[in-house]
């Protein structure tokens, strides 16, 4: 399951990368309903991917801890004393899994910013397009 989740997240990241490259010159001044739907879809999928990667990393960390320390209650032996290379490889996989989680969380934060900046009442970071020749309403 661990490998499948990381495969899905890597595939999704590759698809998003290609999409971003394809639309780098595409500028929009208006937030249409289809664009809003796309942004909410990307935001939701980003969140699901990040949580799936985090959950599988936590689960594999627990399994690695059981392999490292064993369990007297279940009469499980310590595997790392017999299979040292296995434990080193699992440790590397967990390390890179959490690095992937942190990078995906950063991408998800960027997606969140890009979505919610359209709903900001105070022109958050001045990213909203300005119309030339219009007068802003007074407060």
User: Please, what's the largest Cα pairwise distance for the chain?
Assistant: 77
- pLDDT confidence of residue 26: 57
- pLDDT confidence of residue 95: 94
- pLDDT confidence of residue 74: 76
pTM, 2 dp: 0.71
- pLDDT confidence of residue 29: 54
Looking up tokens 């989740």 gives 5
**How do the pLDDT tens digits run along the chain, 139 residues long?**
778 888 888 888 888 888 877 776 655 555 567 777 888 888 898 899 999 999 999 999 998 888 888 878 877 778 788 888 888 998 999 999 999 999 999 989 988 887 887 776 665 555 555 555 555 555 5
- pLDDT confidence of residue 32: 67
DSSP assignment, residue 26?
-
Q: Compute the Cα dihedral for 85, 90, 93, 98 and give only its sign.
A: negative
Q: Is 71 helix (H, G, I), strand (E, B) or coil?
A: strand
| 4 contact partners, CB below 8 Å, separation of at least 6 | none
- pLDDT confidence of residue 81: 81
Measure Cα distances from 124 to 75, 90, 117 in Å: 57, 43, 6
The domain spans of the chain are: 2-19+33-126
Nearest-CA neighbor of 6 among 85, 98, 89? 98
Residue 76 bridge partners (DSSP) = 71
- pLDDT confidence of residue 53: 92
């Amino acid at each position: 399951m661990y490998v499948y989740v990381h495969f899905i997240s890597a595939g999704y990241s590759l698809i998003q990368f290609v999409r971003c490259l394809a639309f780098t010159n595409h500028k929009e001044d208006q937030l249409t309903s289809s664009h809003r739907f796309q942004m909410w879809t990307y935001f939701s999928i980003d969140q699901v991917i990040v949580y799936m990667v985090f959950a599988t990393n936590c689960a594999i960390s627990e399994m690695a801890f059981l392999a490292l320390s064993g369990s007297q209650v279940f009469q499980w032996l310590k595997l790392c004393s017999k299979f040292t290379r296995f434990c080193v490889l699992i440790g590397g996989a967990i390390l890179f899994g959490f690095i992937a989680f942190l990078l995906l969380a950063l991408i998800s934060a960027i997606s969140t910013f890009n979505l919610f900046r359209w709903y900001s009442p105070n022109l958050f970071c001045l990213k909203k397009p300005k119309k030339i020749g219009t007068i802003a309403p007074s407060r």
